[in-house]
Structure 1
Amino acid sequence: MPRKLFGLSLFWRTFILLGLLLIAGIAAWVQTFRALEFEPRAVQAAQQIASLVNLSRAGLRYADSINRVTLIKTLSDQEAITLKPREPSDKFEPYEVSRFTQAIGNELKSRLGPTTVVASSVNGTPGLWVGFQIEKDNYWLQADSSRIEPMTGRTWFVWVGIALIATMLGSVIIARLINQPLKELSFAASRIREGEYDSVLDESMITREIREVNQGFNRMARELAKVEEDRAVMLAGISHDLRTPLARLRLEAEMSVVDEEAKRNIASDIDQLDAIIDKFMDYARPGEVELVPVNVSSVVDKAISQFRDTKRIRIAAKLPIDTRVMADETELSRVLTNLFENARRYGRNTYTGVTNVEVSYTRSGSWVILSVRDHGPGVAPEKLPQLTTPFFRGDAARTAATGAGLGLAIVDKALTRMGGELELGNAQGGGLVAHIKLKRAP
């Protein structure tokens, strides 16, 4: 039970704990009320019956025979009270069978005398029968037993039911009031995680602690937005400042270096530096994208067209032309280009030196899953979760080429921005397979 309770959301935990607390309070209240109500109710019921007996005794004592008959008839018609002589042959059952009836019987005997008899039935007729004496004559007085019955189970059920319903409604309202600010905070934090810094929480809350938390969160969001803006400006400046001397180096190499091989090596190094700068800029790209229906086959074909060197990489795609997903076309193209580039660098066949890549797809409910698989050496299983970490590279078999170590990190970040997922694994028969999961367009 504790593990299940801790696994619930904060709203349900608050609701259950409040409900249990209030139900325990109701149970304690019911027991206390019953204990406090028991003795006064027994005394009150005995007083009522004793008063009836005393009034009946006084009326019979001072009435003549004619008026006595009239009195007995009036009591029977108007007060539901029966008076009749008590015979020695009468058979009766004792009334004192429970704690409550025992208390009533004792109270009646203390008020009417020790010779008083209290019965629950006389000669087979049920009711509340009280045997008393007028001088030396014995009488039975039969009263309505509903006058002294304790509170029935139905009454208790109605009272407790109403209290439980009020308790549950109160628990829902209280739990919602407690958890609503936390729910808003959680939603705002999730938007911050996705790179959206425009979330603003209410700073005019009545509760001081929540107001202070919201104020602190808003300050944090503003600072993060400023840091993100400064980072974008800084990276743009770095990109510009680096590319200017790189362009000069390329020009100087073309004009000054005589050795053609050295010239090609310098140009290759400059291209590599330029590509690394592009990777940094891609990774630092802002997080907001607009999702629209995108034709997957068209984007895949465009990405494949950038890798025409069949001596280094060969890409085969098996996609229907009508498959569409909710994505940003530029981001999706960048995702596929990075995956193909990663395969070209690290997924070469050991014997042929050529990278063979297969692109396929499956549908799973409202999702489309693109699979990009190479036939290279694969990656150690324990290192798979780290492949999307910036600047992380796998084992030596997959690090023969140089790079920024940001390719798969860019892929993962771009898919997250588009509401998708990236899953990496080793394919059966060898090679790395990347599963791209995106929402299917309506």
Structure 2
Amino acid sequence: MTETPALHALWPAPTADSAVQATVTVPGSKSVTNRALVLAALASEPGWVRRPLRSRDSQLMSDALRALGVGIEETVSSSSAGEGDSGEAWRIIPAALHGPATVDVGNAGTVMRFLPPVATLATGDIRFDGDPRSYERPLGQVITALRTLGARIDDDGRGALPLTVQGGGALEGGTVEIDASNSSQFVSALLLSAPRFNQGVEVRHVGTNLPSMPHIRMTVEMLRAAGVQVDTPESGGEKNVWRVAPGALLGRDLIVEPDLSNAQPFLAAALITGGTVTIRDWPRRTTQPGDALRRIFTDMGGSCELTDAGLVFTGTGKIHGIDVDLSEVGELTPGIAAVAALADSESVLRGVAHLRMHETDRLAALTKEINGLGGDVTETEDGLRIRPRPLHGGTFHTYDDHRMATAGAIIGLAVQDVLIENVATTAKTLPDFPKMWADMLGQEPSGAGA
């Protein structure tokens, strides 16, 4: 399957020589795009996904669904969902899912977790494989849950990739217990396909911790928009229990929101340089975890206003430390840690022990790389303690993790001679990041990955 390339090219992170003044259009949300693709593939009628994110993760998802027989036509089309709204659109044409097929998950958590439940609805064997790091990422809870619900899966007892789902064309469904302490994606994976299970599903989380709840809320909201009945703790159900009734999924015409988590480095640039950055099309209501940046970065010294043009964020050039629980928004941790390393006081980032099992061990990676630039970061049981110190240049390794790359770029705004190893890994969710970064700074792209 896909091998992670041994990319050692170094990208010189641009240093800001003045306060940033920029308007940025952030590509569509990966989380919304990949959920929309799965729901559209399982629908009873064709649908549209408009303004999708075109990145490695979304390409892996669309390629996988095509391998199972789903039709995906990529067009540039005008949307009936909004006057004057046009751009890239994918028409999704559901079909009887079938194998034999091989799915390359790369290192995409949404693909490796969301698609095995889909594969149980196919006929034939569906093999899942991916990058070497994907073998180390937690998947056992999903495998065990699917077996409880009636699936046949061959993983040679690993509880991890690679594996083969022996699809029988249907899945009985029912009640299942799962410990989703390592990833909310375990819950979302079962909920997304549940309308197609004979009995639907009742998912009971039995762990002590449940990170990234906004992503589960996103899954529930998108299911309901497709006509599915979902009972949740928020709607009066039992704590940590989600019930999805069996039934047909409606085809939708969906416009994907900008990826608010990927807006983080651009907002950080305003905060660090004392400038102003406008993020176009920031939604007034959203389930995306990235919306928390408005509060977090304001607490760290900036100010923001949601306008018709988008989110306008302004910094003063002064950055304050923060003590914050990031358990619901863990994906924001690398960027917050980068900003905290430039602050005027200590920061404590809590509630993110689960990041040790993300694309890389993000807590260990952030500690090593920031300290390698002269920082003072220590790991705690569930997060990081960051004591600001004068930083210096050096190589910032990314570990094939897109959010490590953008964290290094954030530090590079204020610290000269920071070299990012393999900035191209940002293509996972933020294509053309080096050019977007240079455009924001009014500079010419330079170096590897530009």
State the TM-score, normalized to the length of structure 1: 0.20
Whose Rg is larger? 1
Structure with the higher fraction of residues in strand conformation: 2
Which protein has the bigger helix share? 1
